[in-house]
Chain A
Amino acid sequence: MKSMNIMIVGVGGQGSLLASKLLGRVLIGEGYDVKVSEVHGMSQRGGSVVTYVRCGDKVYSPIIDKGEADYIVSFEKLEAARYVDHLKKGGVIVTNDQRIDPMPVITGAFEYPDEVLDSLKKKGVRIDSIDALSLALEAGSSKCVNIVLMGRLSVYSDISEEAWIRAIEEVAPKKFMEINKKAFALGRKAGVIE
């Protein structure tokens, strides 16, 4: 079984924990050894958050280091750029193209580098950028950006759509089940992969 490293990055409060839970469940279901590593606490308060998901025959380290990620799933543009050095050569960044200003930008101490993804693309970094927020709203809630992005990520995997849906049924709150399934479907068929 091939091993895979996936990083989920975003802004504290965006729902990355549910995304990593879903991903972990899917990969366990496929028979992989899986490790999922999160950071709780202080950094959750609107700060930059990172979750590592690793799978393979046998996984040792719970974290993903520079140049090791096959995929980076980002909930926000700037965060995609922040962690690009963790991407393996030839890896793919799946990102929401939403912009959320960090405090140094809000206070005017820094400019938000709006063109940052374009300059990374020019360097040859594979970036799959989608408007996950609009798709989440279309599905029924701005809170399911996480599941839209998982839907998008699923396009890159050999794992069956049924397996993903089963995992959603196991981890998502019952109250929002239909919204989450719709969000997953919208993410999965969004845009065209370059």
Chain B
Amino acid sequence: MKKLMLGNEAVARGLYEAGCSVVSSYPGTPSTEITEYAAKYDEIYCEWAPNEKVAAEVAFGASLAGARSACAMKHVGLNVAADPLFTLSYTGVNGGMVICVADDPGMHSSQNEQDSRHYAIASKIPMLEPADSREAKAFTRLAFELSERFDAPVILRMCTRIAHSQCSVELEERVDTVKKDYVKNPQKYIMAPANAIRRHPFVEERTAAIAEYAETSDINRVEYSTDRKLGIITSGTSYQYVKEAFGDKVSVLKLGMVNPLPDKLLRSFAESVDRVVVVEELDPVIEEHCKAIGIKTEGKNILPVVGEFSQSVIAKAFGIEAPAFDSCDEQIPVRPPVMCAGCPHRGLFYVLAKNKLTVLGDIGCYTLGSAAPLTAIDSVLCMGASVSGIHGFNKAFGGDSENRTVCVIGDSTFMHSGMTGLANIAYNGSNSTVIIVDNSITGMTGHQQNPTTGYNIKGDPATKIDLESLCRALGINRVRVVDPYDLAETEKAVLEEVAAEEPSVIISRRPCALLKYVKAKSPVIIDREKCRGCKKCMKIGCPAVSVKEGKATVDETLCTGCGVCSQLCSFDAINQPE
């Protein structure tokens, strides 16, 4: 049976077919759907872990117990999971283990454009890179076989265009994998120095053995054209762009395994063509390897290091003519993403902007509080950095910094890596004010449950961690909850807590307006007689409110009746219907 499948869905299908039975992940675009689709198979136990380090370690534990296991994350998630990653390379596996990581060239939904291949090289872990959904499934299955054959976790490298593109995939049956026996083996699994010293040579020998496998495996393949003037070495989505731009008019070495690389195959391919060019998105990883083993090659001298490729990027680099097109003479205003109408974060950010507070932000929908007209955020670095950062900021800035600085972090991000920063605030004593924007869901990635929501990945009831108790247990005495739809209450709380002579937490709590159980109220009604067109209601940047012909107007298809705009009106012109 054939099915049109998203790359991520195909990975999930591969996990199923390979007999994988445990998947633990933290959501992150563009990797999220791997775990969401895997959770649809009853044969696979799936969970959302609080962060990627936990997820990778859960998968390790499952592998240790003898099961085939996996974890999935976005590229920056692998930074969080890097600690277990490097030593997992030494322990190897019992049941096969696959780490799925999705890069985001072009930064469609990410804070940086890092290239995960560096991790595979640095940790000496084999990495496979599919070029479409069909390969995504096939390589996932192969990854488990290689993992068990070579006693190594295997990284499956996805990228946005593979993860979020659909193509036809042939479905196969789930293989009968027998769970391996668990046998206590301290020399292999206790990575204290005496054992680790013995494992490192094994890792080096293993890499050599996998490289030998890569020389002849059909995961790397040569597609010769009748023309041998130009030879392109490529992998993943770049392969597709090369084929799109050249058709069959170029000879290609397509690498399915990007670590370790097959030196003999690279050399023989290079010798068989007149000119060699490595075509790879992001960093010149393959190119530098080729140069290091003495292959005369081009690459980043004609192709960009920055951003996504496409067929036109390839065409331009090789002087192929691009198609003609019409363009628009008018200036088209940009349409950036915005906080949704009825978003509970909006009221809070209005209060923070109004009071001109310095705001250290974090990763989630609420990062959009940085956009105009609110422009309420001063910094966004990585998951959890707002809570750690505000402590450093206040310690260094001194003076009245603690009275005019806050940090903002979401419920899921707080569980991911905000807690440790809060412990630091309590322990090392800064009078910092931490605002947890609790919308009762992991929002930006498309509504995943987390330890504070009370539900698990299947939507079944689960232990709900109480944020108030957690913050108190972490040493914060001042913990209060506000409703961000109530501007006066929110402002009072913020001003009192920044002024407080001890650390404090404000939980700004209201569920995401897009959650199914959140029922929108009737749209607000504008009294055009009373409206003076002062545009005060425009300061919150709500997509449902605009001023037309000098009067405020509400888009009834968008308005959720949250009433934040009506609290801003000085003329009583915006009202909730009776």
Contact = CB atoms under 8 A, between A and B. Distances in A.
B166 A35 contact: yes
A82 interface: yes
A26 to B, nearest CB: 11
B445 interface: yes
A59 B328 contact: no
B311 A46 contact: no
A61 interface: yes
User: Chain B binding site: helix, strand, loop or mixed by DSSP?
Assistant: loop
Interface residues of A, number: 61
A62 interface: yes
Given A41-B445, A61-B240, A87-B326, 10 more contacts: A34-B168, A35-B165, A40-B109, A45-B340, A61-B241, A62-B132, A78-B332, A102-B336, A103-B372, A123-B326
A83 to B, nearest CB: 9
A43 B107 CA distance: 11
Nearest to A10: B335
A67 B324 contact: yes
A47 B324 contact: no
Contact of A61 (B32, B310, B546): B310
Contact of A66 (B109, B164, B325, B545): B325
Interface centre among B312, B335, B444, B538 (most CB of A within 10 A): B335
Nearest to A123: B326
Nearest to A88: B323
Contact of A46 (B166, B446, B543, B547): B543
A84 interface: yes
Interface string B329-342: 11111111111100
Given A24-B166, A25-B4, A86 B325 contact: yes
Contact of A102 (B132, B325, B327, B334): B334
B410 to A, nearest CB: 14
B338 A62 contact: no
A40 B337 contact: no
Contacts of A159: none
Given A81-B330, A116-B330, A142-B557, A45 B310 contact: no
Contacts of A65: 310-312, 322-323
A34 B339 contact: no
B368 A45 contact: yes
Contacts of B332: 78, 81-82, 113, 116
Contacts of B336: 47, 102-104
Interface of A: 11-13, 24-25, 28, 33-48, 59-63, 65-68, 78-79, 81-82, 84-89, 101-113, 116, 119-120, 123-125, 142
B371 interface: yes
Interface in B314-356: 322-340
B160 interface: yes
Interface string B519-553: 00000000000000001001001010111000000
Contacts of A61: 240-241, 243-244, 310-311
B108 interface: yes
Contact of A34 (B4, B162, B311, B328): B4
Contact of A63 (B6, B161, B535): B161
Given A41-B445, A46-B340, A120-B326, A62 B168 contact: no
Contact of A103 (B168, B241, B329, B371): B371
Given A34-B166, A36-B166, A45-B338, A88 B325 contact: yes
Interface in B366-408: 368, 371-373
26 contacts: A24-B4, A28-B168, A35-B165, A36-B165, A36-B167, A37-B166, A40-B33, A40-B446, A41-B109, A45-B368, A45-B444, A46-B335, A46-B338, A48-B335, A61-B243, A61-B311, A62-B132, A65-B310, A65-B322, A84-B327, A86-B325, A102-B333, A110-B331, A112-B333, A120-B328, A142-B557
Given A62-B161, A66-B322, A125-B326, A41 B333 contact: no
B335 A63 contact: no
B568 interface: no
Nearest to A76: B335
B237 interface: yes
B30 interface: yes
A105 B333 contact: yes
Contacts of A86: 325
Contacts of B166: 24, 34-38
B365 interface: yes
Interface string B190-203: 00000000000000
B535 to A, nearest CB: 8
A47 B337 contact: yes
A102 B167 contact: no
Top 5 nearest A-B pairs (CB, nearest first) are: A41-B109, A41-B29, A67-B323, A47-B337, A67-B325
Contacts of B546: 101, 105-106
Contacts of A84: 325-328
B323 A68 contact: yes
Contacts of A85: 325-328
Given A41-B109, A48-B335, A85-B325, A106 B545 contact: yes
Interface centre among B4, B162, B541 (most CB of A within 10 A): B4
Contacts of A116: 328, 330, 332
Contacts of B6: 38
